[in-house]
Structure 1
Amino acid sequence: MATNRSDAHRNASAPLIEVQGLNKVFHTAAGEARVLKNINLSISAGEFVSIIGRSGSGKSTLINMLTGIDHPTSGEVRIGGVLLHGMDESQLSKWRGRTLGIVFQFFQLLPMLTLLENVLLPMDFCDFLPPEKREERALQLLDMVGLKDLAHRLPGAVSGGQQQCAAVARALANDAPVIMADEPTGNLDSASAEQVMSLFEDLVRQGK
C-alpha cells in the first residue's frame, strides 16, 4: 500500500489528518490477520492523496479507520485535532456528518429518494443551514456536478457515473473540510470514471 499526493494546495499549517502507530488485527478461524501495521500518516488541508495497493492490502480498512466506521487495534487517528476513537457512537455519528463527506464505491444513494432528496439528507440530519436554504444549496451542488436538470429523477433512472456524481454532491452538502472516497471509480466504466476523477480534481483546485 502506498500514497500518491498532489501538493497544489498544500497548507503549511498543522496537519488536518494525523495517524500515529495505527494497527488493525482481525481475528479469524484461521488465526490473526494483521491488515494494518504501524501506519503513520500526515495530511494537510488542500492535499489530494490517493492510497494505492493490491486487493487485500488494507486500503478500505484504513479508510474505515479514518472515518471512524471501524476501530483500530492500537494507535490514534486525529482529524482537525479531534481523537476519533475517544468518542462514543452517537458523538461519532454527529462528528462524521459535520466533518466528513464520504463517497462509496457503490454510490449508496437511497433508491426511493430523488437525487435532490439524497443530497438534502445530510443537511437535514446535521441541521445544516436554515431549512429554507437547503434546497437551494442542494440544487447548486447538483448543478456543479452537471445534474441540476436531473434533480427530480430517482437514482435508478440515471447512469452509474451520474449516480456517483450525485454521491459527490451529497458528500459536499454540509461543506465538510474532508472528503474521503473508497474506490469511487471501481464500479464505473472508463468514461464515467474519468468524469468522476475530473470532478475530484476540480474540487482540489477549489481548495477542498
Structure 2
Amino acid sequence: MEIQDEAKAKLKKVGAENLSNEELVRAFLDSFGQSQKINQLTNHFWDTIGDIAGYGLLSQNEKRKIFKNIPDATVALEAGIELGRRIQKQPIHLLGKVLGSAQLGQMMVSRFQKEPQEHLLVLCLDTKNQIKREIVVFKGGLNSAEVHPREIMVEVLRVSANSFVLIHNHPSGNIEPSTNDLAFTKKMKKVGDLMGIRLIDHLIVGDQSYWSAAEKRFI
C-alpha cells in the first residue's frame, strides 16, 4: 500500500486527531485524486511553510501558489481550517430551559404525537437546567432492556453536562412503563449517581399524555 493510501486509510480508521501533520496533508491531497504527485506536492508544501504554524503566516497569494495546479485544494484547505477555527471558538448554543416535568412532558407529547417509531431522546443540561444538547440516541424498535448506558453517557459527557433527562415515546399511546422501562430508569439513575451526573427525569410519552419518573417519585 502506498504511503498516501495508508494515511487516508488511517484517517478513516482512527480519526484525523490521531494522524501526524504529514499524514493529514497526504490524506488531504489524496482526496483530490493526486496520488501520483503526493510526494512532490507534500514536499513543496513543507518547503514553503516550514512547519504547520507557518501556513497561517502566508498571504492569500502565497497560499494559492502552494497547490497552483489544483486550485480547489487551496479553497478546500482554507475552508477546513476556518471551520476548525470556528468550532473551537463557538460556544455551545443553549437550546432552552427545562422548567419542570409538566412543561417538558406536554412539549414532548406534541412533538411525538402520531410518531410511528419509538425514539430515545437525551437532554443534556447545565447547572441552571439549560439544555446544552439534545440528541436521539436510539430510533425504531427500541427495547430499553438492551440499551447500554455507555451509549447515553458518552453523549452526556461530550458536553460536560451537570444532569440529564431521558425521554422515549410509546407509539401505542400507552404511557404505562414496562418492567424493562422501570429497570432501565433505575439503572440509568445509578450510573448517573456514580458519575456525579444526576438523572433528573425519565419521561414516557404517549399520544395524549406522559408518564414522569420524577412526578411518580420513582427516582
User: Which category describes the TM-score, using the shorter chain as reference length?
Assistant: under 0.3
More strand by share: 1
Greater relative contact order structure (CA < 8 Å, 6+ sep): 1
Between structure 1 and structure 2, the one with the greater Rg is: 2
More helix by share: 2
TM-score (norm 2): 0.26
TM-score (norm 1): 0.27
